[in-house]
Amino acid sequence: MGRTSVASPICSSIHILSSNCQLLLSRDWRGEVPSECLKRLIQDLANNLENSVSAPIVADSQSDLRLMFVPHNDLIIACVAASSADIGTVFTFLHRLVGIFCAYFESFMEESVRDNFVIIYELLDEVVDNGYPQLTEPAVLGEFIKIRAHRLEAPSLPSAATNTISWRKNGIFYKKNEVFLDVIERCSLLVDGNGKETHSQLTGTLTVRSQLSGLPVCQLSLNERATRKAFDSSPSGHGFLEDMTFHPCVDLATFRMKHLLCFTPPDGKFDLMTYRTLHPAKPLININATMSSTNSSRIEYAVSLSTLFKEQNIASNIQVEIPVSPDTTSPEIQCSCGTVVYDPEKDALLWTLRNIKGKREFKLQAKLCVPSTGIVTQSPGMTPVRVTFEIPYNTASGLQVKYLKVVEKDGYSALPWVRYITRSNGYEFRFRK
Amino acid sequence: MSSHDSRYFSSHKKGEIAEWRQDLKRNDRDLLKTTVKRIIAAMTVGKDVCSLFPDVINCMQTEDIELKKLIYLYSINYARSNPDLAILAVNTFVKDSQDPNPLIRALAVRTMGCIRVDRIVEYLCDPLHLALRDSDPYVRKTAAICVAKLYSINRELVIDRGFLQQLNGLLLDDNPMVMANSIAALVEIQKGSCAQIIDSSLLSRVFTSLEACTEWGKVTILDCLAAYESTSATEAEHILESILPKLQHANYAVVLACIRVILSKLHQVQHLRESLLQRIVPPLITMLNAEPEIQYVALTSISEIMDAFVFPFLHSYKAFFCKYNDPSYVKHEKLNILVKITNENNVGDILLELKEYSGEVDIEFARKAIRSIGICALSVPEYSQGCVSALMCIIDTKVNYAVQEALVVLKDIFRCYPDRYESVISRLCQSLVSLDEPEAKKSFIWILGEYADRIENVIDLLRTFIDGVDDEPVVVQLQLLTSTVKLFLKRPSEESKSLVQQMLMFATHESEHPDLRDRAYVYWRLLSHGGDKVASVVTSHMPAPQCNPSS
């Protein structure tokens, strides 16, 4: 954090590489990276990947340059920059770049780089100039850099490219004006071998899909509990949202004063707000997994899953992944509900349940044979039992939308739709001791 | 939807360059475009298509903007190797810089700046002057950056032709992107100092810019504010007040830059220190849910802040527990932080986690976790018992590398807390597997020498090492020599005496290592003198190891 030089350009050049470090495409802006240095950096990167060293920064041994990269599908998106470039800005930018490419090409992979190299060059030209990030809104870029192979008219510059409201173009029109708001919460939980919660966290996103004409202003009000902490700067404040971040379209001053989110939405889908709480009230699902071996070649697993959320709610698409020793044979499985399959690829039992109500309990028992010749290199049971699920119509945090209003000078009426869903995001339980 | 450009990469046959040259001369627009795409494709895969330079430049005057962009891209890559021919392109550039379409005007100025050929630079000045005054902000923002490009090629020219004044004027532009780029260009020209951009009188203007600017421009301005030395505490407070809302920006780069400003002004606003530090914690912790690279940035930042202030993070220590599927570089950083954050209140929870990590599949990480347990024992003396039991559990697993690592750690704990945990030594000796790492061997041999009087079969254990001494690395040989002498002093007997003699003979006659030989002679002389003095020299206590969490 303590850098002395300020505001250096974030990159000298950007390179797109295949997963085996073959250079697919490069764009150099500043001419600061000698080709032998780039070769060295890519060689070092390849060595790192081979030795499964995953650090996202590779420093050059003979100069001040560094290569920073983000893997995506079968690609590596890398940039080379002087060591004075701020890595926070670099990585934020690289992820944004991946986002832009993903918005352009349905799947951004080696194949699509070859198929679209002309457009990628064009995009890079708009997104960075001389190492400084420029326009990074995919929606606006899409206005004047189009994928069409044959473009007859010369494209003209959309005014949004340099507008103060750079995220929305003029003259959008919909026959039916609608705005969809999804409140999505993701819970993570880690329970240790003594049944104690070691870590639990909840993050939430308000995702908006707007299909509104003109330049509307939306007003969104959340329940009191949600907004309290945002104004209470004392650390002991008991509000439950620990941290909130907003899309640049949100007027922060109004939010401070009136506890109201006012914004002119970009067209289409975007994340309006994200938030985080450190201590969600209770775990939603609990799992008690034990493992015992009767003799050296036989292991018994007993797993019980209990739903701790309200009885009227329903969790769906539940999958429990129970790791087992590699090379197990002849599994004997019994469970009170759902289906279980043994997946030798993952070395795990996959227990799937479609829909389950709150305050219920389900059990699974499995007996497996392991080759007794097996050398115990690793004490088993280190991988935790993982569960994925989602609970619709519910927020684990208790956040609720009071109202969502759309105001536009043409005075059309718009329909607001609000949905809630809670999903798991790393629910892990270690085997009980 | 994709445009299937991959076909341009195929069909590389001999004589293709000559064929392309012919195609470029034909007056067929579609063919021309296809050919230029093929040439760019060849350039992309690293083929040298430099020889086509004059032919490609000849096609530059075209109405087709896609084709124009491609030819410009080509010229950026090859102009430097053809400075004489690059002049041919100048006319088109100058003409394009007056095109009615702002996209083309900007494209021309941007490309000219990228062609770092001295002779072209002269021709760039006039178009650049015009572009800086252009009615379209898109052209102005491109021109602002171009001044910085020009400065890196020919600084006298920039100063003589008054570009700096023009650039300074753009700082007042009402367009956010123009403003952001002017700031970036000025900062680059002033080699990272922001003296001309920010002084006390300009502050209010800077705050207005900060609000209006693009997100990337915000980062630049915030970095300038962080470097700006505020003249008084009131001013610092004022700056902080204005930037604090940016902590809630959705762009992590903005948030991090905002944190840098806060940290840079902290020494001037002592009375606000605690509350400010509390404010920066939640956004940093939030970043631990972002992409792994962002997590890494957040973790290294937290780690650095912790070197000065640990307290704001104390109640969030659980956020640094590793997730099962975290990439290893994130896990390592988290571990560094866990070690720094350990205190008597949280050591219990952290120790349980560390013990869990010691069994991870990632061996490097597991080792580091075991070392971390040792550091906890040294930094929180009240809990050293807990750490020792954790280490003993690890040793009981008999997993080879884990045992060896634990052994090294235990040695340090023994040194730090003499006469407290020696009771575990016999259990230790029973669980030993084959040691193959020098550091672990050294530690074990040290323990044997130090506690020779409490370990029953110490002579047998040492003898096995001595029998294979000539295969050992020097560090182990040195330790073996010292420990054997200690053994003799603590348990004088015929057996131990013969071991010492064997060791001394080896060190003085067979070894070629000067350190080992010298040390052996010193011991030899000391021993031949005899008396109590020898014991006080050889078996004196070593100073306790320093606890250094960062290593």
Of A409, A405, A400, whose CA–CA distance to A218 is shortest?
A: A405
Is the CB of residue B54 less than 8 Å away from at least one CB of chain A? no
Nearest to B341 by CA among B38, B549, B66, B105: B549
> Please, which pLDDT band fits residue A228 given cuts at 50, 70 and 90?
low
Does position A205 have pLDDT exceeding 90, yes or no?
A: yes
Question: Per-residue pLDDT tens for B438-490?
Answer: 888 899 999 888 888 888 888 888 888 888 888 888 889 999 999 999 888 88
State the Cα–Cα distance between residues A295 and A293, nearest whole angstrom.
5
Q: What is the average pLDDT across A346-371?
A: 88
> Is the domain of B387 the same as that of B348?
yes
Q: What is the ipTM of this complex?
A: 0.87
Could you give the CA distance from residue B468 to residue B441 in angstroms, rounded to a whole number?
12
Same domain, B429 and B481: no
Among the partner residues A6, A25, A154, nearest to B227 by beta-carbon distance: A6
| % of chain B exceeding 90 in pLDDT | 22
Instruction: Determine whether the interchain pair A94/B177 forms a contact, defined as Cβ–Cβ distance below 8 Å.
Output: no
What distance, in Å, lies between the first and last C-alpha atoms of chain B?
51
Compute the Cα dihedral for B34, B40, B42, B45 and give only its sign.
negative
Instruction: Answer whether residue B199 shows pLDDT above 80.
Output: no
What is the pLDDT, as a whole number, of residue A149?
A: 42
End-to-end CA distance of chain A: 42
Alpha-helical runs (H) found in B154-291 = 155-160, 163-170, 176-189, 203-212, 215-227, 233-243, 252-265, 273-286
B427 and B465 assigned to the same domain:
no
* Residue A163 predicted with pLDDT over 70: no
What are the residue boundaries of the structural domains of chain A, listed by start? Answer: 13-144, 178-281+396-428, 285-393
What DSSP designation does A278 have? S
Q: Looking at residue B335, what is its pLDDT?
A: 94
β-pairing, A285-295 with A361-369? Answer: unpaired
Span B311-338, mean pLDDT? 90
d(Cα A181, Cα A265) in Å, to the nearest integer? 12
Q: Look at A116 and B286 and tell me if their CB atoms are within 8 Å.
A: no
Strands (E), A83-135: 128-129, 132-133
Of the candidates A138, A218, A212, the one whose C-alpha atom is nearest the C-alpha of residue A171 is: A212
Q: What is the mean pLDDT of residues B187-206?
A: 75
| Tens of pLDDT, residues B248-262 | 888 999 999 999 999
Which of A32, A89, A203, A346 has the highest number of chain B CBs within 10 A, making it the mutation to test binding with B?
A89
Is A236's pLDDT higher than 60?
A: no
Instruction: Tell me if A178-281+396-428 shares its fold with A285-393.
Output: yes
Domain limits for position B389? 342-434
DSSP string, B441-461: HHHHHHHHHHTTTT-TTHHHH
B349 → chain A, closest CA residue: A198
Interface of B with A in 14-43 (CB under 8 A): 37, 40-41
Q: Which of residues 456-485 of B touch A (CB under 8 A)?
A: none
**Average of per-residue pLDDT across B147-171:** 89
Is there a contact between A201 and B289 (Cβ–Cβ < 8 Å)? yes
Per-residue pLDDT at B27 exceeds 60: yes
Select from A79, A24, A74 the least CA-distant residue to B293.
A79
What is the per-residue pLDDT for A93? 95
Average pLDDT of B300-305?
Answer: 94
Task: Kindly indicate the confidence band of residue B59, based on its pLDDT and cuts at 50, 70 and 90.
Answer: confident
* pLDDT averaged over every residue in chain A: 83
User: Do the Cβ atoms of A134 and A126 come closer than 8 Å?
Assistant: yes
Q: Quick check: A5 pLDDT over 60?
A: no
Give the distance from residue A312's alpha carbon to the nearest chain B alpha carbon, in angstroms. Answer: 30
* Mean pLDDT, residues A56-61 taken together: 92
Handedness of CA B76, B81, B85, B87 (dihedral sign): positive
On whether the CB atoms of residues B230 and B268 are closer than 8 A, the answer is yes
In terms of Cβ atoms closer than 10 Å to its own Cβ (0-12, 13-18, 19+), residue A155 is: middle
Average pLDDT over residues A130-147: 82
B contacts of A191 (beta carbons < 8 Å): none
Q: What is the pLDDT of residues B347-401, one digit of tens each?
A: 989 998 898 888 887 888 999 999 999 999 888 888 888 899 889 888 888 788 8
Which of B404, B434, B464 is at the close of a domain? Answer: B434
> Is B546 contained in some domain?
yes
CA–CA distance, B23 with B40 (Å, rounded to integer): 15
Candidates B424, B226, B320, B430; CA nearest to A198 is B320
Beta bridge partners of A133: A128
- The domain boundary, picked from B385, B407, B434, lies at B434
Which stretches of A340-433 are DSSP H helices? Answer: none
Closest A-chain CA to B114? A29
Residue A164, pLDDT above cutoff 90: no
What pLDDT is stored for residue A155 in this prediction?
A: 59
* Whole-number pLDDT of residue B255: 95
Tokens of A250: 């949100």
Higher pLDDT, B418 or B243: B243
Q: Which residues of B touch A118 (CB under 8 A)?
A: 3, 5, 37, 40, 66, 70
Structure token digits, residue A146: 């189009």
Residue-averaged pLDDT of chain B: 86
Q: pTM of the predicted model, to two decimals?
A: 0.83
Burial class (CB in 10 A: 0-12, 13-18, 19+), B510: exposed
d(CA B239, CA B225): 8
Token pair for B373: 């347990």
B153 touches chain A (CB under 8 A): no
pLDDT of residue B259: 95
Cβ–Cβ below 8 Å for A242 and B286: yes
CA A285 to chain CA centroid, nearest Å: 22
Q: What percent of chain A has pLDDT over 70?
A: 86
Residue B278 has pLDDT above 70, yes or no: yes
Q: What pLDDT, on the 0 to 100 scale, is given for residue A420?
A: 92
What's the CA gap between B97 and B109, in Å, rounded? 6
**CA gyration radius, chain A:** 26
Residue B12 pLDDT > 70, yes or no? no
* Count of structural domains, chain B: 2
User: What is the rounded CA–CA span in Å between residue B546 and residue B375?
Assistant: 10
- What's the pLDDT band for A150 if we cut at 50, 70, 90? very low
Q: With an 8 Å Cβ cutoff, are B248 and A244 in contact?
A: yes
- Are B360 and B429 in a shared domain? yes
B22: Cβ–Cβ under 8 A, 6 or more apart, which residues? none
pLDDT at A374 over 60: no
Amino acid at B329: Y
Q: What is the residue-wise DSSP string for B9-78?
A: GS---TTHHHHHHHHHHS--HHHHHHHHHHHHHHHHTT---GGGHHHHHHT---S-HHHHHHHHHHHHHH
pLDDT band at B11, cuts 50/70/90?
Answer: low
- Residue ending a domain, among B434, B459, B481, is B434
Is 2.60.40.1170 the CATH number for A285-393?
yes
Asked if the C-beta of B125 comes within 8 angstroms of chain A's C-beta atoms, the answer is no
A153 pLDDT more than 60: no
Distance from the Cα of A176 to chain B's closest Cα (Å) equals 27
Q: Which pLDDT does position A18 carry in this prediction?
A: 92
H-helix or E-strand spanning residue B132: helix B118-132
Quickly count: other Cβ atoms within 10 Å of residue B168's Cβ.
13
Cα-based torsion angle of the residue sequence B93, B99, B102, B104 in order, rounded to the nearest 10 degrees: -40
For position A234, what pLDDT does the model report?
41
3-state helix, strand, coil in chain A (%, to 5): 20, 40, 40
- Is B6 within 8 Å of A114 when comparing Cβ atoms? yes
Whole-angstrom distance, CA of residue A284 vs CA of residue A89: 36
Mean pLDDT across A317-345: 86
If pLDDT is split at 50, 70 and 90, which confidence band does A75 have?
very high
Average pLDDT estimate for B140-165:
90
Could you tell me whether strands A415-429 and A385-392 are parallel, antiparallel, or unpaired per DSSP bridges?
antiparallel
Q: Is domain A178-281+396-428 in CATH 2.60.40.2890, yes or no?
A: no
Q: In this structure, are residues B259 and A1 in contact, taking their beta carbons and an 8 Å threshold? A: yes
pLDDT band at B287 (very low <50, low <70, confident <90, very high): very high
* Matching residue, tokens 């329970």: A191
Inform me whether the C-beta atom of residue B188 falls under 8 Å from chain A C-beta atoms. yes
Q: State the Cα–Cα distance between residues B408 and B99, nearest whole angstrom.
A: 73
Please report the number of interchain residue pairs, chain A to chain B, with beta-carbon separation below 8 angstroms. Answer: 274
| Residue B74 resides in a domain | no
pLDDT of B204 above 90: no
Is the predicted pLDDT of residue A377 greater than 80, yes or no?
A: no
Rounded average pLDDT over A28-40: 90
CATH assignment, A13-144: 3.30.450.60
The pair of structure tokens assigned to A79 is: 């940039």
A382–B252 CB contact, under 8 Å: no
Distance of CA B208 to the CA centre of its chain: 34
Closest CA to B53 of B41, B39, B69, B33: B39
